[in-house]
Amino acid sequence: MALLQVDHMTHFFGGLRAVHDYNLSLEAGQIRGLIGPNGAGKTTVFNLLTGIHTPTEGHIHLDGQEITGKPPHRIASLGLARTFQNLCLWRHMTVLEHVKMARYSRISYGLIGAFFGTPKRHREEAAIEAKAHTLLQLVGIDHLADQVVVNLPYGAQRRVELARALAIEPKVLFLDEPTAGMNPEELVQMMEIIRRVHAEFDLAIYLIEHRLKMVMELCEVIQTLVFGEVVAEGPPEEIQTNPVVIEAYLGKEGVESSC
């Protein structure tokens, strides 16, 4: 069984079949892409796999354990972290607080330690802060650690989300359009960061992106979703020449004109 294994997952929103018979085998350390036109069901797939919605049918296993229907915090604690298509940040918290908060799921000093300020608590707090700064350095925003996120440019806010996701030390990282709204310079930087994160932590990464050149460069295998169904799956060189993908998603001119 793959690190993240999805079998025959289907989901209805009322009468709308948003995802139909979806299957996935995401191996440890692999980078996969999920592409498809607007409304194809890409974010719904992420929401189903991270516990925001429960699939109408099908089974999801993470590292051999069934996670179908488990709540998001439980799935995160088992090693699946994500970022969101529409940023999901606390506007008036600082960058550092965001990352530290994610680490608090791992503290062991308990209520008594917190109340009495035991040495164990001080040690753990120092370790949490140091780890948070390390992650912020990795994504290139440690100099913004004390800024509240509402004051940051969009590209920096996306990096905060990424650092927060990494703070739970995931085995699998989902990125839902991590470059949405970014300018070309920020886009190149984000690609570099994703490569760095992958190399540093040897994570499996599952990436939703409309910037197809980026998906083609980063991913080993790409799935194409159209009306909730996978219409093509394979390595980038196969996907960019697949007539079904070109017809359904890329337009008849192909990949080059779509980026």
Spell out the residues 6+ positions from residue 145 whose beta carbon is closer than 8 angstroms to its own: 94, 95, 96, 132, 133, 136
Residue closer to ligand ATP, measured from CB, 28 or 259: 259
CB-facing half-sphere around the CA of 175: CA atoms within 13 A: 33
Position of minimal CB gap to Mg ion: 43
Which of ligand ATP, Mg ion, none does residue 13 bind to, with CB < 5 to 8 Å depending on kind? ligand ATP
Residue choice 18, 135, 168, 205 for contact with ligand ATP (CB under 6 A): 18
Least distance to ligand ATP from the beta carbon of 229, Å? Answer: 12
Strands 16-26 and 4-13: antiparallel
Q: Which of residues 79-138 bind ligand ATP (CB under 6 A)?
A: 85
Do residues 2 and 25 lie in contact, with contact meaning Cβ atoms separated by under 8 Å? yes
Is 158 a binding residue for ligand ATP by CB under 6 A? The answer is no
Residue choice 43, 50, 157, 179 for contact with Mg ion (CB under 5 A): 43
Residue closer to ligand ATP, measured from CB, 56 or 147: 56
Is 39 a binding residue for ligand ATP by CB under 6 A? The answer is yes
Least distance to ligand ATP from the beta carbon of 42, Å? Answer: 3
Give the residue carrying structure tokens 């991590």.
178
Phi, psi at 21, each rounded to 5°: 50, 55
Residue choice 15, 38, 86, 184 for contact with ligand ATP (CB under 6 A): 38
Phi, psi at 67, each rounded to 5°: -115, 5
Distances in whole angstroms, Cα of residue 110 to Cα of each of 21, 96, 104, 116: 43, 22, 11, 10
Is 44 a binding residue for Mg ion by CB under 5 A? The answer is no
Is 51 a binding residue for ligand ATP by CB under 6 A? The answer is no
Is 40 a binding residue for ligand ATP by CB under 6 A? The answer is yes
Give the residue carrying structure tokens 């980063």.
218
Q: Which of residues 164-193 bind Mg ion (CB under 5 A)?
A: none
Strands 65-66 and 57-62: antiparallel
Degrees to nearest 5, angle at CA 242 with 240 and 247: 95
Residues lying near ligand ATP in the complex (CB under 6 A): 13, 16, 18, 36, 38-44, 85
